[in-house]
Amino acid sequence: MYVNQHRERKKSEMLDIKFVRENPDIVKENIKKKFQDQKLPLVDEVIGLDKENRETQQEADDLRASRNKLSKEIGALMAQGKKEEAEKVKAQVAANAERLAELEKKNNELKEKIQNIMYTIPQIIDPSVPIGKDDNENVEIEKFGDPVVPDFEIPYHTDIMESFGGIDLDSARRVAGNGFYYLVGDIARLHSAVISYARDFMIDRGFTYVVPPFMIHGNVVQGVMSFPEMEAMMYKIEGEDLYLIGTSEHSMIGRYIDQQIKEEELPLTLTSYSPCFRKEKGAHGLEERGVYRIHQFEKQEMVVICKPEESHMWYDKLWQNTVDLFRSLDIPVRTLECCSGDLADLKCKSCDVEAWSPRQKKYFEVGSCSNLGDAQARRLRIRIKGENGNYLAHTLNNTVVAPPRMLIAFLENNLQADGSVKIPEILRPYMGGKELLVPKK
């Protein structure tokens, strides 16, 4: 079983400048495993900058200590009436102050350079992650439910929606351009029903429901994701230090920036609703003409902040929650282990949950579960206050459901030969008791 695969793993190494300095070969090997060889020179560069920074810091510290000593000496000389000697020492203090100002400026510049490089060196991946260049080399782990291909043709998902008068893409293009949509009537209600059901599903599993801010400051963006992700995903509000979130994980983790969390309060298990806004740079292909890949959608998310030794256990719980939710709606799914080259730089381990598409006769991604280790906590300075001192938290996130992708899987798997769509019993309370959606066309 997939869960058992992770029980004997060692805790992932923490990636900070001290770790890089002491383990350059491990860091370089990790970069190679992620097929980012262009970053290899950065390791030696940042180690050199760190050495220079520590030397600069030491000289500055020595000058500060000397200043304190000389200040006492000046006081003693003045008390003894040795004014001329005291003035000479004052001149030395002034010269030292000038040098100290130079060192402090240099120190700040070096720290910024080091931080910028450290932000581009990827997190050490978990030992269990399969090595591969891209998502084509992700590894299927387990299937849940039996995929069914009915003996009638399954229309394209937007055609199914249009049969209920449930989607208007043409008007959306006129109003906002490609990548947007209007959902109408029963399809819009189904969309909201799925979100509401997912919310209650997670609350029943002990998660606290949160509606977070839908915009965040730039320093939070920098703390929760890598530069390539930010460039490909985030919309910036012109003239303001605000970005539209691509997922509620961003503002949920950002909530704890510069915070100390008491050890006894952990784990924090949260489920959040938000709209999500994404540029989706590079999106193309047949599936893009529908609502598979879009600029705006809504999502129910789960987020966990926990002790480092518990993050692997929570990782397995999180992806299982998504599997259980989809299976409760009788949608077949599978889990796919993301290979090293498909991991974003802050992730140490990730898996996708994919739903069965009877029309395509294959699975497609409907959610992603990630363990980021201490990467986000390090950037955002989220620490746990423990009995034996403070330490960095581990953060995890996972998709519960993200309509309208979820709607694609739902409609295809519940479509009947006459064009109607059956509503599973568990979802009927959210649909006003309806058992069946009947097409208008």
76 domain residue, yes or no = yes
Question: What's the domain count of the chain?
Answer: 2
Contact, 196 vs 409, CB < 8 A?
Answer: no
Are 274 and 368 part of one and the same domain?
Answer: yes
Cα–Cα dist 141/335, whole Å:
6
Contact, 371 vs 126, CB < 8 A?
Answer: yes
The DSSP-derived string for 19-35 is: HHHH-HHHHHHHHHHTT
pLDDT of residue 82: 75
Are 191 and 86 part of one and the same domain?
Answer: no
Residue finishing a domain among 85, 118, 151:
118
Are 171 and 294 part of one and the same domain?
Answer: yes
Are 255 and 376 part of one and the same domain?
Answer: yes
Are 288 and 245 part of one and the same domain?
Answer: yes
Verdict on whether the full-model pTM lies above 0.95:
no
Cα–Cα dist 12/126, whole Å:
6
Q: Which domain holds residue 305?
A: 135-437
Are 97 and 172 part of one and the same domain?
Answer: no
Q: Which residue ranges in the chain fall short of pLDDT 50?
A: 1-13, 284-287
pLDDT of residue 69: 78
Residue finishing a domain among 118, 151, 170:
118
pLDDT of residue 288: 53
C-alpha count within 13 angstroms, C-beta hemisphere, residue 330: 12
For the chain, how far is it from start to end, CA to CA, in angstroms? 45
124 domain residue, yes or no = no
pLDDT of residue 97: 83
CATH number at residue 95: 1.10.287.40
Cβ-in-10-Å burial (0-12, 13-18, 19+) of 351 comes to buried
Are 60 and 187 part of one and the same domain?
Answer: no
- Identify the CA nearest to 46 among candidates 121, 105, 127, 156: 121
428 domain residue, yes or no = yes
Q: Where are the beta strands (DSSP E) in 146-204?
A: 167-168, 182-183
Are 161 and 300 part of one and the same domain?
Answer: yes
CATH number at residue 276: 3.30.930.10
Cα–Cα dist 417/15, whole Å:
55
